Amino acid sequence: MKRIIAISLLMPLLWGCQLLLIGGAGTAVGAYMWASSNLTRNYMQPMDKTWDASVAAVTSMGLEIISKRRDTHYGVIKARLSNDETLKIALEKWTNRETRVTIRAGKTGSKETSTRVHEEIARAFRHGYRF
């Protein structure tokens, strides 16, 4: 509830951004934020689990992983989309139990594709990374 209030108070500061409140199993209340052709959401999951869910999501979508690199606080997964453009998933550890995931699909940033990837990540949490 505190997050919803805080987000509501900050919305006027998000000039060109769209903010959608959503909920997901195992993720508590989250928010998608579309800014600069990137779709961002915080997951109430530790970095390790969010990394595994992100890799599982990309794999379940049938995308070829081009590169993966990560450390304890930051990680990037790059995959090839069907139109031969690049999907970039950036993960950032916020706390021991919260990870921010930013997705950019293609050069110009497809909101539809980015949303689908976030949905697959949430699905991976619900299904234990198995599809």
Structural class in CATH, domain 2-126: alpha beta
pLDDT average, residue stretch 80-102:
97
C-alpha–C-alpha distance, residues 48 and 12, integer Å: 34
Confidence of residue 18 (pLDDT cuts 50, 70, 90): very low
Alpha helix positions (H), 44-94: 47-60
Q: Is the pLDDT of residue 131 over 60?
A: no
CA 19, 21, 22, 26 torsion: positive or negative?
Answer: positive
The pLDDT value recorded for residue 127 is 85
Q: Model pTM?
A: 0.77
Distances (CA, A) of 28 to 45, 84, 98: 9, 34, 10
Sheet containing 28-35: give its strands across. 18-24, 28-35, 38-43, 98-105, 86-95, 74-80, 64-70
CB 58 within 8 Å of CB 89: yes
Q: Is the pLDDT of residue 4 over 70?
A: no
CA atoms within 13 A on the CB side of 122: 20
Place of tokens 């976030």: 118
Confidence of residue 10 (pLDDT cuts 50, 70, 90): low
Residue of higher predicted confidence among 2 and 73:
73
